[in-house]
């Protein structure tokens, strides 16, 4: 079912009530049939939660801190995006199938839509969560510049759209809750964007341990330095400058926009903030997850 109506607007479809890019919905059979392998590592995020950041961290760990090896391709091509489907490009599933093992893959899918083989194969999952207010702001600016997603409208309009979960990959609340509740039942490292920002060294060490990589202190320091916002913004292999303007129009808003905790304060009105806090309380009631919204 198309969720947008405007003539030339890119449309979203739905799978089991979750809005997804229409081309992903068209390819759903292939995505659900994906055969995960036991040594796959799947990076899982709600959009705009630091996916690119954790991808670069994971790649640098995998390449033992070799910065040149991480220049081999733009970040969006290093780890197949499982549900990516934009014919005639090869789909995420096709790219993953062609990749040598052990594979690092990525997805924005909510846990309930993941191909069953990921659970059956006992894969590793690396989930990164970002506080919802900054996620909302980042997603708003991303939809302004991403030509393949519906136009977000005004800030006030998008605020309502996001709360109602009518954005690609669905409700932030359900996504984060779903993955959080699974964290002790499967091989999962659950990280927070705000923790990586506050203490990158400590969080990168957790990722190294999870990936069973023993790298020395100098390599760890290199990874910390190479994955700062400023470094990644200046790096053509991470800043998406290689993506065509017809897809990402960075003259509207850069992909590497601000990279901070607390930008929501520059967007939310006092009334929106009060209302949002109440909605958050209701939607997240009963979960033990705790976010920090300022550093």
Ligand X SMILES: CCc1ccc(OS(=O)(=O)O)cc1
Active site residues per annotation: 108
What residues pair up with 104 in beta bridges, in sequence order? 41
| 52 binding ligand A3P? (CB under 6 A) | yes
Site string for ligand A3P, 86-125 (x = CB under 6 A): ----------------------------------------
Q: Is the peptide bond before 102 cis (omega within 30 degrees of 0)?
A: yes
Q: Quick one: what does residue 148 bind among ligand A3P, ligand X, none, with the CB cut-off 5 to 8 Å set by partner type? A: ligand X
How many CB atoms neighbour CB 159 within 10 A?
21
| 235 binding ligand A3P? (CB under 6 A) | no
Contact positions with ligand A3P (CB under 6 A) in 145-204: none
Helix axis angle for 217-226 and 51-62, nearest 10°, is: 150
What residues pair up with 128 in beta bridges, in sequence order? 45, 191
Q: How far is the CB of 135 from ligand X (least distance, A)?
A: 12
Starting at the edge strand found earlier in the chain, the sheet holding 41-45 runs 104-107, 41-45, 124-129, 187-192
Q: How far is the CB of 51 from ligand X (least distance, A)?
A: 5
Considering CB under 6 A, how many residues would be counted as binding ligand A3P? 20
Q: Quick one: what does residue 49 bind among ligand A3P, ligand X, none, with the CB cut-off 5 to 8 Å set by partner type? A: ligand A3P
Closest listed residue to residue 260, CA positions, set 51, 47, 43, 50: 50
Of 141, 146, 190, 220, the residue at the interface with ligand A3P (CB under 6 A) is 141
Contacts of residues 264-269 at CB distance under 8 Å and 24 or more positions apart, as own/partner, are 264/131, 264/133, 264/134, 264/136, 264/137, 264/293, 265/294, 266/137, 267/137, 267/140, 267/155, 268/133
Q: Quick one: what does residue 149 bind among ligand X, ligand A3P, none, with the CB cut-off 5 to 8 Å set by partner type? A: ligand X
Single out the segment in contact with ligand A3P by CB under 6 A; choices: 12-20, 51-59, 95-103, 283-291. 51-59
How many CB atoms neighbour CB 190 within 10 A?
18
Single out the segment in contact with ligand A3P by CB under 6 A; choices: 43-51, 81-89, 169-177, 272-280. 43-51
Instruction: Please report, as ranges, the residues that interact with ligand A3P according to CB under 6 A.
Output: 45, 47-53, 134, 138, 141, 227-229, 232, 256-259, 263
């Amino acid at each position: 079912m198309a969720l947008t109506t405007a003539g030339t607007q890119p449309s979203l479809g739905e799978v089991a009530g979750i809005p997804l890019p229409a081309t992903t919905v068209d390819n759903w059979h292939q995505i659900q049939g994906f055969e995960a392998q036991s040594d796959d590592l799947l990076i899982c995020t709600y959009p705009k939660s630091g996916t690119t950041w954790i991808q670069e961290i994971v790649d640098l760990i995998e390449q033992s801190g070799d910065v040149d090896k991480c220049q081999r391709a733009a970040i969006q091509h290093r780890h197949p995006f499982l549900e990516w489907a934009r014919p005639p490009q090869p789909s995420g599933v096709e790219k993953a199938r062609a990749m040598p093992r052990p594979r690092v893959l990525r997805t924005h899918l909510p846990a309930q839509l993941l191909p069953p083989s990921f659970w059956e194969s006992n894969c590793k999952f690396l989930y990164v969560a970002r506080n919802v207010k900054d996620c909302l702001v980042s997603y708003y600016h991303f939809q302004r510049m991403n030509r393949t997603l519906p136009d977000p409208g005004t800030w006030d309009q998008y605020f309502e759209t996001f709360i109602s979960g009518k954005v690609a990959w669905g409700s932030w609340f359900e996504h984060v809750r779903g993955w959080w509740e699974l964290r002790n039942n499967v091989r999962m490292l659950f990280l927070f964007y705000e923790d990586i920002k506050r203490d990158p060294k400590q969080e990168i060490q957790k990722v190294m341990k999870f990936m069973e990589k023993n790298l020395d202190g100098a390599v760890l320091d290199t990874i910390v330095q190479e994955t700062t916002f400023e470094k990644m913004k200046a790096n053509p292999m991470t800043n998406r400058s290689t993506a065509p303007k017809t897809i990402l129009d960075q003259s509207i808003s850069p992909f590497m926009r601000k990279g901070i905790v607390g930008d929501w304060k520059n967007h939310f009105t006092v009334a929106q903030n009060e209302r949002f806090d109440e909605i958050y309380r209701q939607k997240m009631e009963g979960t033990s997850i705790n976010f920090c919204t300022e550093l």
